Chain A
Amino acid sequence: MRRLGGIFWSLIFLAVPILGVATFAVAPSYNIWLPKDVSEHGSSIDGLFYFILALTGVVFIATEGLLFWFLWKYDAAKAKGPATYIHGSHTLEVVWTIIPAATLLFLAIYQMNTWADVKMRRPAMAPTVEVVARQFEWRLRYPGRDGMLGTRDDLFLTNDLHLPVDEDVLVQLKSMDVLHSFFLPNLRIKQDAVPGMKIPVWFKAKETGQFDIVCAELCGWGHYKMKGRVTIESRADFDRWLEETYARQEATQPAPEDTAAAAAD
C-alpha cells in the first residue's frame, strides 16, 4: 500500500512536465498563441520568445523529469538500505553555477540589439501622428499637409488610427490624465503613456489590415473599454484617407453620410 502511494505520487509529479509540454503543444492549434505579427521587428521578438521557450523547455523537462525519477527510485518503501550520506559536491556546485551563468549572460547580451532597435534607435523623422491617451479613449492628431504638429491644418480623430504600410512610422505618445499603455498586439508594440512626458514609439508595418489597440496599463474603471483600431494600408490608400478625413473635418456642413449616421443614432 505504501509502495503504491510512492508510485502514485511520483506519477503525479511526472504529469507536470507531460501536461505542461502538452498544453504548449496544443495551444497553437486552438489559436491560443502569439497573434499574427505584421511588424518588421516582431520576428526578432517572436524569435527570442521561441528561443527562450526552447531553452526553458529543455530545463523544465530535465529538472521535472529528474524530480520524478528521484521520487520513483528513492521511495523509502521501495529502496533498500539507508539514504546516501552526502553533504554536497564542490564540482557539481561549480558546474551548475557556471553553466547557467554563462547561458543567462549569453541571453542577456543576445537580446540587447533587438531592444535597442525597438526602443533606442529612433528614426530621424518628424512624428507621423501624435497619440494622446485619455480616460478612456485614444486621441489622435495628424500633422496635416505641412507635416508639422501644432499648426492650423492638423487633423483630429479618436480611436481610428491609420498608418501606411512598409514605411517607418513615428508615434509621439502622450497622456492627458493618468497612466495608459499603448499596446498593439499584432505589431509587438507596447509603451506606457505618462502624463508630463512625450515618448516616441516607432515601428514599420509589413502587412495591411485592421488590428486592435489595447490599453495595457490600469487607467480607471473604464480601462477595459479603452479600445482603438489601427488600419495599416498602402501609401495611396493612406493619403486618400487623410485627404477625405481632412476634408470632412474642414467642411462647414457635415458630410452626407455623417448626417445619415447621426440620424440613425
Chain B
Amino acid sequence: MLERSVIVLASFSYLGVLFAIARYGDKRAEAGRSIIANPYIYALSLAVYCSTWTFYGSVGRAASSGIGFLPVYLGPTLMVALWWYVWRKVIRISKTYRITSIADFVASRYGKSQALGGLVTVIAVLGIIPYISLQLKAISQSFTILLHHPALVMPAQAAERPFFQDSALYIAMMLAAFTILFGTRHLDATERHEGLVAAIAFESVVKLLAFLAVGAFVTYVVYDGVGDIFARAQHDPRLRGLLTVPPSPASYGTWAFVTVLSMLSIMFLPRQFQISVVENVDEGHLGKAIWLFPLYLLLINLFVLPLALGGLMLFAGRGVDADTFVLTLPMSLNRDGLALFAFLGGLSAGTGMVIVETIALSTMVCNDLVMPVLLRQRWLRLNERRDLSGLLIAIRRLAIAAILILGYIYFRAAGEAYALVAIGLISFAAVAQFAPAILGGIYWKGGTRAGAMSGLVAGFAVWAYTLALPSFAKSGWLPRAFLTDGLFGIALLRPLELFGLTGLDEISHALFWSLLANVALYVGVSLAGRPAVAERNQAALFVDVFLHTHGVDRSRTWRGSASVQELLALTGRFLGPERAHEGFLAYARRRGLPDPRALVADADLVHFAETLLAGAIGSASARVMVASTVQEEPPTLDEVMDILDEASQVRAYSHQLELKSRELLEATAELRAANLRLQELDRMKDDFMSTVTHELRTPLTSIRSFSEILLDNPGIDAAERGRFLAIIVKETQRLSRLINQVLDLSKIEAGSAEWHAAEVDVEDVVREAVDSTSQLFREQGVAVAVSATAGVPAVRADRDRLMQVMINLLSNAVKYCPRGEGYVEVRVAAVADGVRVDVRDNGPGIAREDQETIFEKFRRVGDTVGPRPPGSGLGLPISRRIVEHFGGRLWVDSEPGRGAIFSFVLPLDRGAEPGREEAQAAG
C-alpha cells in the first residue's frame, strides 16, 4: 500500500492543505476578521516548540536516559508562569517600538546598534543551523524508512551516498521553496504573518493527534495499558535502569541544567520569539497560553515512555534506532495507515519548525546583517533607488535558501554523530547566550552596548569551543586529538573538560562556562564603562516601557527638521510607495487630518516613520536611514539626563516636593491672615450690633415713654397731646430712616445692592441735591452756594446713589454749621483723574484724629460730650461706600475751628468719554 507515489502524494497534499490554511488566514486578516486572534490559536502556535526533536527524538532520548527527556518540557512549563511579568514586558516593548526579531530587540535596546544586531544574527544563524539540520535529518530518516517499507532499514548510510541521491537535499530544497512561498510573499511593516500562524496552529494539532494515535495504539492495542508496559520492562534487566533516575549527583545536575536551558530556549529561540512576540495579536492572549501551552506539552509527552519501552522490547536486538520508534512501531505491526499518519505528524513537526525558524532568521539576516552592509556601500547607490522593497524580499528569499543549505551541510558534516536531542541541545545552548543581554536589558538600565557585545562574543566563543567544534571533531572533520588532548595539546583546554572540569555532561559543561563568561563580561564591562546618550535613552524606554507607553514627550529629546515628503519617500523606498502612503494616511487620519501632506514633520512623525521602517529593515538600519534624511541635532547629555535619568526624576520629585511645601506654607500664612480678618470682622459685627441696638433703643424709648404718658393721662390737654404725638411721629420717622439706612448699608456691603450705572452730569446732580435740601438750609439759616467750572465731563454712576451722597454731605454740613451765620459752599470741578466735588462748611471743624473715625459706622464727632447731633451716624459710611463703588474716593479735610471740606472724586469712566461713546454707539 505504501508506494513511493502514495507517500509523496500524501506529503504534497498535506503541504497543500497547509498552504490553503495560510491563504485563508491571510485573506481573513486582510478582511479584518482574524482567525488567529484568540488565546487557543496563540497557545497552539507556541507549540511550534515541539519539532521533530519532540516527535521522534523524545522517544529516542527516553530509550537511552529514561525520564531524562522531560526537563526540556518542564522548563517551559515553569518559565511560562513567569511570562506574566517577563514576556508581557517584552511583548509590550516589541509592539511599542515595532521590534521584529531578537537581533532587532538587542540592537534596539543597546542604542540601536547595527554591530550588535549583526552579532546577534550571526550567533542565531550559526547556533540554529544544527537545529535545522536536525529537522532535515529526522524528515529524511522518516522518508527513507517509509520508502523501504515493509523492510526496516536504518538510514545510517545516507551520508555515504552522493549528495544528489540524498533525500535530505531534496527535502531541504522543498522546504526552502515552501518557506519562501509562505513567508515572503510580500513585505509587511510589522512582519506579521497571520496565515502562517494559522497553519502552524494546525500543524500543532496534527502532530499532537499523530503522536497520541501512535502512543495509544502501542500502549492499549499492542500492550495492555501503561501498567502492563512498565511491568514487563521491570522484568527486562536492560530496561530496569531506565525506570529510575540514576542516583548520581551528575544526573540531577544535568536535569537542572537542561531545565534552565529549556527555560531560556522557550524565549530566545528565534521561532519562539517570532511566534510568541512578533505574531502576538493581543497581550491578553498570554494569560490563557500560560496554562494551555504546558498542557499541550504534557499531552504530547504522555506516551513517550511507553513508546520507548515498548519499542525497546519489541525491537530487542534488531538494531532499530530509537529515534525512529514512532514510525517503525506502526510499520512493524503492519499498520500502514497509522505509519503514514505518524510520518505526516513528523512532517508537520519538522516543517512547522523550519518554516518559522527560517522566516525569523531570514528577517534578521536581511535587516540586521545584509541591509546595513549594503546601505553602506556607496557604489551600489541604494540611497537613490525609489523602491527597495523588491530587494528586501529577494534578500530574505536568498537568506532562507542559504540557511537551509547550511543546515544540509551541517547534516552531512556532523549529523550522523549525534542523536536528535543532542543536536537540538547544541542549538539551545547557543540561543541561551541571548539571555543576559535581553533579560538584563529589560530590567537593568545599567547594561551597556559594550557589555552586551563582549558578553555575547565571549559566550558564543565558549559555546563554539565547547559544543560546536567538538561536534565537528566527533564527525572527523577536525582531528580527534582536539578532543582528547585539547587545543595545542594543552590538557586544560580540552573542549569537553575545560580547565579540568569533569563530572558534567557536554551540554551542562558548555552551558556553565558559556553563561559564566557571558554574564561576567556583560555585567563587568557594563559597570566598568559609561553608556552613551542613545543607550541611556533606549535603556530607559525599555526598562520603563509600562511608564512610557502612555505618551512619551518626544519633542523634548528631539530637535531637528524634516519634511513630510522626504520621510514618505524614504519609507516608500523600503515598504513600497503604496504601503508607505497607506501607513502615512492612517497616521494622518488618527490625527484628524485628511491627507498626509497636511502633516507637520515633527518629532512624532519622524518617530512614526522610523518605527514603520524598523518593521521592514530593523531598528538600527531604520535609525541610520532616518538620520540621513532628517537634519537632527542629537539631544545633549544633559537633556536626556534631565528627562530620563532616575536621578533627575528624583530631583524633579524633590523639587516638586519643595514647591508643594512652600505652597503649603503660603497657604498657611494666608489662612492665618484670613482667620485674623475673620476675627476682626466678627468683632466689628458685634460692635455694629450693639451700636445698632443702642441707636434703635433711643427713639424706641422716647416713643414708648410719650405713648405711656398719653395712655396714662387721658385728661391731658389737646395742645400737650399734639406736641407729644409730634415727637412720637418724628421719632418713628427717625427709626424707620435708621432701619432703612442699616439695610441699605448691609446691602452695599454684601454686594447685593442694585446699581443702575448711567451717564451722569455731576453738576446737575449737585444742583438738584441742593434744591431738595434747600428747606433744611432755610430752617437752619444756613446759606448755600454752588459753583462749577465749565466743561465738567459726565461720569458713569448711579444717579440716585450719587444724589444720596450729596444729600448726606449737605445735611451733614448743615448739621454742624452755626445757626444763622452758617455758610456752605459746593464746588464742582474737572480734575486730571475725574470730577471733584467739594462741600465746605464753616462749622467747628474736625480734629485730625477723628477724621477717619467719622467714616466708621455710628461714629459721630463729639459722641461722648455734649448733645447728640441728629442723624443716624450711617450717612458718611454709606456715602463713602457708594463713591468707592464707582471707583472714586471720599475724604475730609479739616482743622478744628476752621470748618471742614468733604470732598470726593469720581473717576472718568473710559466708556464715558464722548468719542468712545459715539464709536460704541456707531458700532
Whether A and B are associated in the same complex: the answer reads no
